[in-house]
A and B are shown apart, each in its own frame.
Chain A
Amino acid sequence: MTPRIIAANLTVRLKSFYREKSAMFFTFAFPVILVLVFGTIFTKPEHLDFDLPVQDLSHSAASARLLDALTTDHTFRITPVPAGVDATQYAREHKQNLVLVIPENFAVLEAKRLGARDASVSVPLTYVHDPSSTAVNTKIQVLDAIVATMNQKMTGTPPFITLVATSILSEQYRFIEFFVPGIIAMAIMTSCLGNALNMNAELRQKGILRKLATTPITRADWLVSSILYQLILSIVSTVAILLVSYAVFDVRLHIGVWLPLIVVIEVIAFVGIGMLLTPFAKEAESASAVGNAFLFPMMFLSGTFFPVEMMPAFLQSFAKLLPLYYVNEALRAAMIFVDHPATLRLAGVAAGFAAIVFVAGTFKTRWDGET
């Protein structure tokens, strides 16, 4: 192994990368855009605000109190529905998945219940809903909770059973904190695998490997420069993701010694997989097909975007065969839970996998086109 040759390879590859804008975009900007998009979408539920058309047929002080309760904490944005309109028709025409109707006798019935203390009196609030809407259930649950709170307040007695939440985490974490480690792992995987396959196919197809085979470059020089190249890209990509996450979402993650260690393990694992897949991707077209066939299942089944616990049992078992699962879990154990034993165990599994595929890939790598 010659440091001079490794430095030469590294310089050429980094210059090529820097000068190819699309590669720069997909390696650095794309994961950052994913963080911004998914972070924005999934951080929203902490500040729920739903549109709620309300047809107030009562127009009383009692219905006004109800409307006040609905808009407390800006949970619902009330849109008045005219009294003479059919609520069902209104929902269809205005494409609303939930319309609340306060009956005309709301104030009278409230007075009977509270003033005359007649416990047999109840007030039916009708809601017209679209069961085919995926979002309506959340709105109904929120509405239910607000009504239950109002009922409880009206009775004047404190609740007997109350729920107290205790987090397994030392601090309150949001979706974005779970998402960022997954995106870091995904960005490294796509960069390593994509570059290993595409670069190799391009060099082979264009005959550059044949030229390199007539120089003093050894297989070890080539592999070490590939690893260092991917490591540099992975570090820059990780730093970019973290900077944006801190700046835009004010994430609270633990950045310790585990993060660089897991990044190194992941780079070795996916460069190794890339070397093993190279024989199936001798041309640029097949390289992209082989890469995608491997990347997409890995991306969606390893818990990058959502927890594997959401998947059916057999897919959960399958996920545990994928290296990205262990990288995702190790990063979360290190960056969110700060659970060193779990991180050690998960990173150890990933490192074992990396060692096996890298050694196998090294033996599989050839300079020439001989079969």
Chain B
Amino acid sequence: MRHGMPNSEHAIVVERLCKRYGTLLAVDNVSFTVAKGEVFAFLGPNGAGKSTTAEIIETIRAPTSGKVTVLGMDATKSKAKVVRRIGVLPQDFSSFDRITVRESLSYYAQVFGCDADVDALMDLTHLRSKANARFNTLSGGLKQRLGIAAALVNDPEVVFLDEPTTGLDPHARHAVWDVLKGLKDRGKTVFLTTHYMEEAELLADTVAIISKGRIVATDSPARLTEKHANHMRLTLESSDAAAPGLIRNMGFDPARTSDESICVPVNNADDVRAILGEIERAGLSLRGMDVRKPNLEEVFLKLTEEHHSDAANEGSK
């Protein structure tokens, strides 16, 4: 697990953080660090504790125990100072229904007491054409982009984005990703909470996976994939009953995923060629095929399932 010794290069340091609601331990001894200028993606299934952890770092909630330091300040004791240097897009961001985009941004700028360039923020989030539209007339994607703009009014050093693309259509999602890439280019530290693996893979420098309140892995998306999902996946479209036996005899471990398809973990392109050649020689039917490199989604599913099984086994002992 990667959470090196805290130092001044770290924007966020979380140490042995716990949050308990009655008998439920929502966050269980969580520790990690976020380096300045990096995009840190915090992944986890629903109810894993990611939003609770994020809200403690954002100063919205108080921890039961443990310590959170943001830009060198204790997040619990120095809330007033911390909030001035961070920007937050909460989950399901919403604003005042009958207030326009421009008015909303001016409002948050006034609240922070900063001289924000509202036009520049609208340009950054591609909202200029909607400057005079009221919040309740905006689409989901536009609302999220306003939320991101509102999170930037005080020119924060750390930006927290809690599930910024949940519920958005693919076009809106890509538009939000463009904005996030812009933040990364401007050197902001971004703490991204998401359950979209594609989003984390595309944007994050570091990924932490949380399951049942505990961190189960922390690393770059590439290293996590390399470490936890080193197999390519060959999918064969064949209903031939003899195909799985033939492939198994070659030393592979095929699994029939449906009547029409067989999934085979392979190591390289030579394995793919060998399997296809053997099927051809045996005269078996093959309507199509697909080879996929391992991705973060497989790592996520593997790690969270393993952790669920471990937890279940511990519970049954």
Contacts and interface: CB of A to CB of B under 8 A. Distances in A.
A210 B96 CA distance: 13
A12 B94 CA distance: 14
Interface stretch (A13-21, A39-47, A328-336): A13-21
Contacts of B124: none
B90 A214 contact: yes
Residues of B in contact with A, size category = 20 to 34
Contacts of B108: 215
B111 A16 contact: no
A8 interface: yes
Given A15-B103, A213-B60, A4 B110 contact: yes
A316 B261 CA distance: 81
Interface string B46-77: 00000000010011111000000000000000
23 contacts: A4-B110, A5-B110, A12-B96, A12-B99, A12-B107, A15-B98, A15-B99, A19-B134, A206-B92, A207-B93, A208-B94, A210-B90, A211-B88, A211-B90, A211-B147, A214-B59, A214-B83, A214-B86, A215-B83, A215-B112, A216-B83, A367-B60, A370-B62
Interface string A210-241: 11011111100000000000000000000000
A207 B96 contact: no
Interface of B: 55, 58-62, 80, 83-84, 86, 88, 90-99, 103, 107-108, 110-113, 134, 147, 150, 160
B98 A19 contact: yes
Given A207-B91, A214-B90, A16 B97 contact: yes
A206 B55 CA distance: 16
A11 interface: yes
B98 A20 contact: yes
A367 B60 CA distance: 8
Contacts of A321: none
A15 B112 CA distance: 20
A368 interface: yes
A17 to B, nearest CB: 9
A83 interface: no
Given A211-B94, A214-B60, A216-B112, 14 more contacts: A5-B113, A12-B96, A12-B99, A15-B98, A16-B98, A19-B134, A206-B94, A210-B90, A211-B147, A214-B59, A215-B83, A215-B108, A367-B60, A370-B62
B111 A8 contact: yes
Interface string A185-226: 000000000000000000000111011011111100000000
A315 interface: no
A4 B88 CA distance: 21
Given A15-B103, A214-B86, A370-B61, A5 B91 contact: no
Contacts of A12: 96, 99, 103, 107
A311 interface: no
A48 to B, nearest CB: 49
Contacts of B58: 214
Nearest to A206: B94
B111 A5 contact: yes
B99 A210 contact: no
A368 B61 contact: yes
